[in-house]
Amino acid sequence: MSSLFPALTDPGAARRPALRFGERALTYGELAAAAGALAGRLGGAPGRVALWATPSLETAVAVVAALTAGVPVVPLNPKSGERELGHILADSAPSLLLVAPGDELPEAVRGLERVDVDVRGTGAYAPAEVDGESAALVVYTSGTTGPPKGALIPRRAVAATLDALADAWQWTADDVLVHGLPLFHVHGLVLGTVGPLRRGGSVRHLGRFGTDGVARELGDGATMLFGVPTMYHRIAEALPGDPELAKALGGARLLVSGSAALPVHDHERIAAATGRRVIERYGMTETLMNTSVRADGEPRAGTVGVPLPGVDLRLVEEDGTPIVAYDGETVGEIQVRGPNLFTGYLNRPDATAAAFTADGWFRTGDMAVREPDGYVRIVGRKATDLIKSGGYKIGAGEIENALLEHPGVREAAVTGEPDDDLGERIVAWVVPADPAARPGAEELADHVARRLAPHKRPRTVRYLDALPRNDMGKIMKRALGDA
């Protein structure tokens, strides 16, 4: 297939800014030289290469070089523990490790040949001819049970997703993206780094997310912001006392949230303060991106928009029967197919077979409803967020949104627990805004019942100081039982 980065072979783009991490930056010409030099070395590397994926210029250069050379890259989370790193390395068997000069490495990876990435290297940029079905990335997913599985993401999926997002978001070479996402997930690495470079635009990485950095970069010409709900929640909290932040966000072309649902309350607070609405999209490691609110569409809070070009999406009942109703009420599991999908799990033919239906649809495990106009609204994960109570199928997400509208609630999560009468009872886990004046359980239950329906009221309320979250800010609901 053709090169993933047309701008790197365009002489007219050589002086355009490509990457900036803090005070360190590369133009397209400098990136082509550095990636070309490293790709020349990687071209002779057998199998896969691992990448110590810190939020750095070196990580971006390394992934461009690996994709240029046609060598699959395995991004490693620098915060992973020894056991997880050991599993990933044993499973993926990389031949070497790409790393920023001077980085200290844990014992688990020291047996690999270390290659320091030189961001000022000079070499000819010559993309290898590589089949679109060949793996570009092996990204390890955190499963609910067992060790992480390596999702084989082919080059055609990377290109298809980024080109579909360009269509949906009107993403061009004129756009400047700012974000502070980690670079070992597809959000920060594929969308947030490879994405701008495929368009010929630029990315400014904050290193560590902060509202001051967001205000600075958006106020200095950046046009797009990518973030996760935790980041947008911090923005919403800061806006009342930060007029410069409000002004900067108001001037952005596109504010995009992903990796988990953004609470409606935060949507509304940001819109009220800035005049700009955050749009959401929906994807997974295995599928990259499936849907999005379009730049020319209605940025409706609580929805993830419509299927992207080339993506087929359906909802199904528990027995696999397709749901044809677009009524905003009928809950079903999302299944997708299209060029954005992965090819399978590394060394796991059993898990790969189980992930797909007989006719080729990928089972996402996410539950959703579709509005009459086709918009998708996700209500939660099948395993943790679909609650069957009193004969009803109830999505945890809408109850969480209702709880967050209560002024006494700072954070909220909802789960189901076995109940002899109801089948499952709804349990709310609440972080109060003021621990000394926390709202009572009955008050919160009535609050939900008034906004939604009586059968959606929490039967139990448990109070916490904080909700357990992972590196991407997602609430780890399976850990709540241990809280």
Q: Note the pLDDT tens digit of each residue in 43-58.
A: 867 789 999 999 999 9
Whole-angstrom distance, CA of residue 444 vs CA of residue 456: 11
Query: Which residues make up the CATH 3.40.50.12780 domain(s) of the chain?
Result: 6-186
CA 215, 216, 220, 223 dihedral sign is negative
User: Who has greater pLDDT, 473 or 354?
Assistant: 354
What value does the mean pLDDT take over residues 16-39? 97
Whole-angstrom distance, CA of residue 410 vs CA of residue 412: 7
264-274 vs 229-238: helix crossing angle, rounded to 10: 50
Q: Mind giving me the DSSP string for 264-295?
A: HHHHHHHHHHHS---EEEEEETTTEEEEE--T
Query: Which residues make up the CATH 3.30.300.30 domain(s) of the chain?
Result: 386-482
- In 145-219, where do the E strands start and end? 149-154, 176-179, 202-205
> What local confidence, expressed as pLDDT, does residue 262 receive?
87
The CATH fold of domain 386-482: GMP Synthetase; Chain A, domain 3 (3.30.300)
Are the CB atoms for 308 and 292 separated by under 8 Å? yes
Are the CB atoms for 175 and 196 separated by under 8 Å? yes
> What local confidence, expressed as pLDDT, does residue 143 receive?
57
The values of phi and psi at residue 419, to 5°, are -145, 130
- State pLDDT tens for residues 317-371: 989 999 998 999 899 999 999 999 999 999 999 999 999 999 999 999 999 999 9
Whole-angstrom distance, CA of residue 164 vs CA of residue 309: 6
CA 38, 41, 44, 45 dihedral sign is negative
Question: Among 40, 60, 63, 202, which Cα is nearest to 122's?
Answer: 40
- State pLDDT tens for residues 431-465: 999 999 999 999 999 998 888 878 888 999 999 99
Q: How far lies 263's CA from each of 267, 387, 447, in Å?
A: 7, 19, 16
Say yes or no: domain 6-186 is CATH 3.40.50.12780: yes
pTM summary value: 0.85
Can you read off the two tokens belonging to residue 119?
């961001």
57-69 vs 28-42: helix crossing angle, rounded to 10: 60
Can you read off the two tokens belonging to residue 69?
């050379």
